Amino acid sequence: MKTTTDTGGDVRLSGIGKTYGSFTAVHPLDLTVPQGSFFALLGASGCGKTTTLRMIAGLEEPTSGTVSLGEQDVTRLPPHKRPVNTVFQSYALFPHLDIFENVAFGLRRRGIRSVKKQVEEMLELVQLGEQARKKPHQLSGGQQQRVAVARALINHPKVLLLDEPLGALDLKLRRQMQLELKRIQTEVGITFIHVTHDQEEAMTMADTVAVMNAGRVEQLGPPTDLYENPRTTFVANFLGTSNLIEAEVDSRGGGDIVVKAGDCKLTLPEARCPAPVTAGGRLLVGVRPEKISLVHADDAGGIPAGRNRVTGRIAGSSFIGVSTQYVIDSPVCPELEVYAQNVDRDARLAPGAEVVLHWSPAHTFGLDAAQDIDAGVQDIGEEAA
């Protein structure tokens, strides 16, 4: 498989927006996707991510703004004239054509005569050489998915758009395909823009993730940055799990902010609080469940000084294998989650036990308290949708 050298620059969206009547699907947004990167648009269903993708493909006309590929403004170009290809959520393989003809479709439409060699190479890349003469409905879901990728990639697009490409696969196959897609992207060097509602999928594959909510980009950055430094409660809750504690600013100095939650004093670095801080003002203090250590109340004396400490009682625990997940009922927050690695398990840590939670101030972040504390919390119904 040849690596395409002429990938022709970045994808630039300037002020692009879409409204349907009085409903705004996408608020005007600016976004630049660097050439050759793996970019994910992450959000719950109905957040505008698929509409954004379709505007890049040309399948949806933006109400405002422009789409550029490198130097070329493609806003007014119909989809068949854009050097962009899409892998659709339902794969949209042509049922009346066999696998070979499905993959050859784009080449033939561009008037390329000898497609055999290219198609065979592409089918080898996705390990489907044997299936060339089968019809799409004779293949498994994972195989159909690979055909959809091959059918798009064979055209060497400047950008490959993926619309929830793994949504229909079962968990194990999805993991496998995540790695497979990442491998293909590295191999061909084409810009991938991937739309997904699965935060784990976005974090595993993408170099850069844009978290979308209600038609806007909430935050954009590398996965680790989004995870460690969420700037809104939506991002904090949508990417992984966050414990958010309502607190009041007590004092600041030396690069730290000290807050009071109930009768606990918690410290966090000023650099990790994007919200405005005024003495006496309110703040949401966040910490990820895996950053917290849990000790029985009897051993509280052994906790090093300078750590953030919160007391509570174990309300529930579930054994996951690699870790145990505890839910702690604490005066500062009714449901604090703690993930403890199963290295040295303390048998006393059972539901009902009095415990002390402690973590490093450096692992604490602050958020503006004027937001919905539960924004982005996924309930089961939402995930199934």
Partner 1 sequence: MAFLRRLRSRLVVIAGLLTLGYLLLPNVVVTVFSFNDPKGRFNYTWQKFSTDAWTDPCGVADLCGSLSISLQIAAWATLGATVLGTMIAFALVRYRFRARGAVNSLIFLPMAMPEVVMAASLLTLFLNLGAQLGFWTILIAHIMFCLSFVVVAVKARVMSMDPRLEEAARDLYAGPVQTFVRVTLPIAAPGIAAGALLAFALSFDDFIITNFNAGALVTFPMFVWGSAQRGTPVQINVIGTAMFVVAVLCVLAGMAVGNRRKRQKAA
Nearer of residues 121 and 290 to partner 1, judged by Cβ: 121
Q: Least separation, in Å, of the C-beta of 105 and partner 1?
A: 5
- Whether residue 329 contacts residue 352, with contact meaning beta carbons closer than 8 Å, is answered with no
End-to-end CA distance of the chain: 37
Task: Report if residue 339 touches partner 1, rule: CB under 8 A.
Answer: no
Within 13 A of 137's CA, how many CA atoms are on the CB side? 4
Sheet holding 308-319, edge to edge: 293-296, 354-359, 308-319, 323-330, 333-341
Among 95, 255, 276, 280, binds partner 1 (CB under 8 A): 95
Candidates 149-157, 188-196, 202-210, 288-296: pick the segment binding partner 1 (CB under 8 A): 149-157
Considering the rule CB under 8 A, would residue 85 count as an interface residue with partner 1? yes
Q: Name the residue type at position 19.
A: T
Binding mask 42-61 toward partner 1 (x if CB under 8 A, else -) reads ---------------xxx--
Q: Work out whether 377 is an interface residue with partner 1 (CB under 8 A).
A: no
- 293-332: string of b/e by CB count within 10 Å (b at 16+)? ebbeeeeeeeeeeebbbbbbebeebeeeeebbbbbbebeb
Residue among 75 and 89 whose Cβ is closer to partner 1: 89
Residue 86 engages partner 1 in binding (rule: CB under 8 A): yes
92 binds partner 1 per the rule CB under 8 A: yes
**Angle between helices 99-109 and 141-153 in degrees, nearest 10:** 20
Q: What are phi and psi of 179, to 5 degrees?
A: -65, -40
- Which residue's CB is nearer to partner 1, number 107 or number 226? 107
Part of the chain binding partner 1 (CB under 8 A), chosen from 73-81, 255-263, 269-277, 347-355: 73-81
Angle at 183 between CA 58 and CA 383, to 5 degrees: 65
d(CA 48, CA 62): 12
Please give the DSSP secondary-structure letter assigned to residue 379.
Answer: P
What DSSP element (H or E) covers 223? helix 223-228
Considering the rule CB under 8 A, would residue 316 count as an interface residue with partner 1?
no
Q: Is the CB of 161 or the CB of 244 nearer to partner 1?
A: 161
Closest to partner 1 by CB, 34 vs 78, is 78
Q: Contact region for partner 1 (CB under 8 A) — 23-31, 127-135, 211-219, 275-283?
A: 127-135
Residues that contact partner 1, how many (by CB under 8 A): 29
Using rule CB under 8 A, residue 100 touches partner 1: no
| Chain residues that interact with partner 1, rule: CB under 8 A | 57-59, 78-81, 84-86, 88-90, 92-96, 98, 105-106, 109-110, 133-135, 151-152, 155
